[in-house]
Amino acid sequence: MKILITGNMGYVGPGVIINLRNSFPEAEIVGYDTGYFAKCLTNAAYFPDVPLNQQIFGDVRNFPSSLLKGVDVVIYLAAISNDPMGNKYEEVTMEVNCHSALRMAELAKKEGTKSFIFASSCSIYGAADDAPKKEGDSLNPLTAYARSKVAAEEGLAKLADDNFLVTCFRFATACGFSSRLRLDLVLNDFVAGAITSKEISILSDGTPWRPLINVKDMARAIDFGIIRKSANGGKFLAVNTGSKYWNYQVVELAEMVAKIIPGTKVSVNKNAAPDKRSYKVNFDLYEKLAPNHQPEYSLETTVLDLYKNLLGMNFSDPNYRSSELIRLQVLNNLQENKLLSETLHWNWKK
């Protein structure tokens, strides 16, 4: 089996790569990444892309179809990956997260690829009522990032058939340690705050709901996407991916971190404008379809793993929200050094 992963040099990629190598030891696994975050290593025992058979650098917006020859599975992780980046680079977000994914899926289908796996997001539900959202419920994307995921899902649904299975994992909010860690994610941010200042500053009023999933459990889900057949979910499957035990209000997350890391104070911004991105999610379908690939990490084990690894890398920067552990800051720094254009293309000639 030959597997192509786009966007493997991000936050999710390291866990996916090692998981694939262990689950499919004989597979030929190829990475394709533009390299924005290749250097963003955190407490890494080894270069996380070593288990690949080959690493190719390139932009998914200019993906060469020749690389799809003989590929059985495409895993599309490439993305402008959060709301702050999506807000600054709205057009690029749609190009990378949607248009390039659809073009690659079309090319892959023509080349005989059997399976296309797309990393979608529960954020497509946006502002929701109290009932946990199911896959058939209405979508209410509130940001450029969420809108790009909805558009990609809609396009991919039209491409799926008996010979080209499409699996869209609507992942809960990612969290947990990675050898390319991000701290622009709610739980990761809280643990970082607890370590550096013994204080968790909640930027909202703390009431929004978020479902979460450990980044390593995201990798387990992708395994399911590779082995599933059309009888298990259909030709096109968009499935909420997470656990019913991981629906929390933001303030609950902060209080749990404070409980695990003694001496931590929690402060809430009571004057914050309401955060409309609030949603509980129903994960019953994923539990039914993928009983052997259910999340294994709990909130407590995730926080402890983050805590241990951040201490292991001597993390102590109280200004981490302005550091290169924040993905938007990495892009800003590359642009300030004239290495990236406004459209996030490399400026090698300069």
Rounded to 5 degrees, what are φ and ψ at 104?
Answer: -65, -40
Spatial distance between the Cα atoms of 346 and 309, rounded to a whole number of angstroms: 32
Spatial distance between the Cα atoms of 236 and 167, rounded to a whole number of angstroms: 6
Neighbours of 305 (CB within 10 A): 17
pLDDT given for residue 199 in this prediction: 94
Strands 2-6 and 73-76: parallel
Spatial distance between the Cα atoms of 53 and 64, rounded to a whole number of angstroms: 19
Spatial distance between the Cα atoms of 51 and 46, rounded to a whole number of angstroms: 10
Spatial distance between the Cα atoms of 219 and 296, rounded to a whole number of angstroms: 11
Q: How far from each other are the two terminal CA atoms of the chain, in whole angstroms?
A: 40
Q: Name the percent of the chain lying above pLDDT 70.
A: 99
pLDDT-based confidence at residue 350 (cuts at 50, 70, 90): low
The mean pLDDT of 147-175, rounded to a whole number, is 98
Taking only the tens place, the pLDDT of each residue in 104-130 is 999 999 999 999 999 999 999 988 777
Single-letter amino acid, residue 234:
G
Spatial distance between the Cα atoms of 88 and 152, rounded to a whole number of angstroms: 20
Single-letter amino acid, residue 343:
T
Spatial distance between the Cα atoms of 82 and 343, rounded to a whole number of angstroms: 16
The mean pLDDT of 300-308, rounded to a whole number, is 97
Taking only the tens place, the pLDDT of each residue in 270-293 is 777 767 778 899 999 999 999 999
pLDDT given for residue 273 in this prediction: 75
What tokens appear for 99 in the block?
């248009």
pLDDT given for residue 23 in this prediction: 97
Rounded to 5 degrees, what are φ and ψ at 55?
Answer: -115, 125
Spatial distance between the Cα atoms of 299 and 260, rounded to a whole number of angstroms: 10
